[in-house]
Amino acid sequence: MPVSRRHFVQGVAAAGLAALVEGKFHQAGAETIAHAPPILTGNHFDLAIEPHHADFTGRRVKAIKINGSLPGPTLKWREGDTVTVAVTNHLPKVTSIHWHGIRVPAEMDGVPGLSFAGIAPGKTFVYRIPVVQNGTYWYHSHSGSQEQIGLIGALVIDPRDHDPIAYDRDYVVLLSDWSDTNPDTLYGNLKKQSDYYNFHKRTASTFINDARSKGLRSTVQNRLKWGRNDMTPTDIADVTSATYMYLMNGNPPDANWAALFNPGERVRLRFINGSTMTIFDVRIPGLPMTVVQSDGNCVQPVTVDELRLGVAETYDVIVQPHEEKAYTIFAQPESRGSYARGTLAPRMGMTAAIPPMDPYPHRTMADMGMGGMANMKGIKMSGMSSDQMPGMKDMEMGGNCNNSAPEMNKDMKMSGMKNDDMSAMSHARMDQPAEPLNDKVAGMAPFPQPGPRTTRLMPPESQMMSHPTQTTEGEVPLHLGPEVVMVAMNTAPRLHDPGDGLNGNGRRVLTYSDLRALYRGVDGRPPSREIILHLTGNMERFIWGFDGQKFSQAEPIHLKLGERVRFVLINDTMMEHPIHLHGLWSELENGSGEFAPYKHTLIVKPAERVTYLVSADSPGRWAFHCHLQYHMEAGMFRTVVVS
């Protein structure tokens, strides 16, 4: 390994040893070795964004803290309240806070240049947010690369009604990545050499080994195919443990953050991927996890051994340890190399064995859209049965006592919506489902989060049986060039596929096809049109975009207030892209019908075609982007305008 890598590992080891000797973990405030961010509750919050320093490797570098904490405080809100958050900027640059996954008025979304001007140095901005949902979310800066150096935090919203998830203890597990390298330098390195942080490149030695095992001709043909696309099967992540350390609630692995339990208790772990560029694979060896919530929305319970968190995704799981022993909470990046780690234990000071790292994954020709999926080309997800969808035959679709949503309670409060207004929503203009809702109903935005007291808006059955999609937009011709290095020949839904590095590992791994909402979706109208977008890029030049265009070249995507559309994302690159649409729910079409899971962030795998429904129920200008920070900076960003 290069000397820089060796020094990095030595620094980590030195920091861990010093922590054990001194009983301290050396950050700017000399906090305790296994600190957790403070928890703030109430209706009003004061947050101070301040320049600080952090020392994770024996080197003191610049960082950002919120109220003196890295990550920032965990905020606890309550559904039905209106909260105010006064954010004061003590940085020398403009800052911001975006409330990830939260349904807010557009001017409160926190994206400088799009929804507001940002928070200038020395100024205070007061966010005023009607809380119309519950679940696990997070917040982060949308200014430059500030989230990379600490400007992130967890957000937990308690339900107004009885929580359908039963638990005895509750912990946030916020995962993040940290580098001592300045974010601008890190991004500059990628622009100069896209594989700068990839230490798993193929060499003459691997060529000889492949030729011996697979034959010379096959090996040469394989190398030529990859070379024509300026790709390599080891292109798993742009930024790796060559520079990254992985943190759990702000703690490096040696600090060993711990969560306590009594045997037999149901422990709720709220996993949040608050990293900049890292997809995490999470498991607790010896302890099954029952997934009960995805991106803040309840799902029918599914028990797994492992799950993959794309950047910005959240999953709530229930674990129930019965033995009085410790368990390791283990989160390894998709590119392996290192890990984040904590402990679930009945007493402080207990530890468990750390599992060995999984093998380094490799891309395949299927990831290039060149094999194994030709028969899947052009699959439409609309109305697809479980027999038609890969992986859905074996999916547990069994009943749940909460499947049938109760009738709307007459005295419920839904963003000011009255019972009479809901009646109007149920019947108005349903003879023309392809048109936006009338002014009265469109003004009721946003639709409520699915829950025990919501009902489903349905048009007449005759129109549900028709073919409502009238127009398809966005099928632009893609031409190979600096912005588009490849176009996948065969794309298909891969919702049953856990992802590269997880297949065949002997563990039960969560897939998107496993997600089935606990409550029926609120908007049952069919979409009026499709919007097709290709995820494109040039890995060699580190250029990313939609439809071969960077943000600076692209026009906004326009939606009419009240309309229902289908987004179709086609990944023509060989990397996963966690795509996030601000301000609106994304209802993943995975074969669950009216129980389609509501998400705010979706991983789109290489050569994958993903479709989801969006109700344009909140007016404003909304960001739409890949949540890999440096992909967004390099151009994979669009504006969605709802008007």
Tens digit of each residue's pLDDT (9 = 90 or more) over 15-54: 333 333 333 222 333 333 568 999 999 999 999 999 999 9
The two structure tokens encoding residue 291 = 């997934």
Q: Is residue 459 over pLDDT 80?
A: no
In eight-state DSSP terms, residue 595 is: G
pLDDT of residue 597: 98
Averaged confidence pLDDT in the chain: 82
Q: What is the 3-state secondary structure (H, E, C) of 398-423?
A: CCCCCCCCCCCCCCCCECCECHHHHH
With a CB cutoff of 8 Å and minimum separation 6, the contacts of 112 are 94, 96, 118, 142, 143
Distance CA 308, CA 310 (A): 6
**For residue 160, is it left (φ>0), alpha (ψ between -120 and 50) or beta?**
alpha
Long-range contacts, stretch 419-427, CB < 8 angstroms, 24+ apart: 422/455, 425/457, 426/455, 426/457, 426/458
Q: What is the pLDDT of residue 213?
A: 63
Rounded to whole angstroms, how far apart are CA atoms 66 and 48?
5
For the chain, what percent of residues have pLDDT higher than 90?
67
Is 80 exceeded by the pLDDT of residue 510? yes
Is the model's pLDDT at 435 over the cut of 90? no
pLDDT tens-digit map of 596-640: 999 999 999 999 999 999 999 999 999 999 999 999 999 999 999
Q: What is the spatial order of strands in the sheet that 577-581 belongs to?
A: 557-559, 637-642, 620-626, 577-581, 601-604
